[in-house]
Amino acid sequence: MIMDFFRKTNFQKVSTLNTDIHSHLIPAIDDGSKSIDESLAILNSMSRLGYKKIITTPHIIVDRYPNSTERVLRGLERLREAIDADNLDIELEVGAEYYMDEEFSRRLDIDDILTIGDEKYLLFETSYNLKPIVFEEIIYKMQVKGYRPILAHPERYRYISNPKDDFLKLKELGLLLQLDINSLGGHYGKSAKNHAKILIKLGIVDFLGSDVHNIKQVSFLEKIFGTKEYQDIFKSNNILNDTL
């Protein structure tokens, strides 16, 4: 019944991008999809929006979602098998969204890291309220290890107090910045929407992510694709999604 309902949804092919680099579709390992059926429903809908490749990125947070690399890869294989059985024409790869904590630093030390693409892109996030004391130290460690750090959804961090200067400082540290598309529609609040517009105007957005956790967010995503704000991203920013 779940799959039948979602397959009747009339999503239009409106995505400018072929590749998404941020979502939570491995079933039952974080706060995203709860089942194979739900993941397939979301993937079907994203395919209808025009996506051809999904690089899904489960949370790895030691206190909430202490997922091992092995567990993530097992989940990937199960979902790939379901995609094949469903005859869904979409490519699925996996990375992770690492929370900047002690466990992340430990995994960096032993190179137990799931990266994105051949360039060894590494997606990470921080606390929304407080900038980690070790922020610059961990960024340096990532870079020394040969990773190319991507900061997930910088527009959503409430510790950003002077957005223009703070965002430019992030770029000076060598970070790539990934904007959540749904921030443009106010899905994460007024502040995130305003900060997203500043990032776009500055021309420093490198990646766009759906950050989809459920089917409702796919519906919201579709509405954003038709807006001027979304189209303006590509006029002033070099978006790298489709290089992956």
CATH number at residue 150: 3.20.20.140
Residue 173 forms part of a structural domain: yes
Counted domains in the chain = 1
Structural domain includes residue 3: no
Residue 52 is assigned to a structural domain of this protein: yes
Residue 29's φ and ψ, nearest 5 degrees, are: -125, -5
Would you state the pLDDT for residue 3?
Answer: 45
pLDDT given for residue 77 in this prediction:
98
- Asked whether residue 89 is domain-assigned, the answer is yes
- pLDDT for 14 equals 78
Distance CA 116, CA 148 (A): 9
Q: Which of 167, 240, 161, 152 is nearest to 202 (CA)?
A: 167
Residue 1 forms part of a structural domain: no
Residue 5 lies in a domain: no
User: What pLDDT tens digit does each residue of the chain (244 aa) get?
Assistant: 344 434 444 555 578 899 999 999 999 999 999 999 999 999 999 999 999 999 999 999 999 999 999 999 999 999 999 999 999 999 999 999 999 999 999 999 999 999 999 999 999 999 999 999 999 999 999 999 999 999 999 999 999 999 999 999 999 999 999 999 999 999 999 999 999 999 999 999 999 999 999 999 999 999 999 899 999 999 999 999 999 9
Query: What's the domain range around 120?
Result: 15-243
170 occurs within a structural domain:
yes
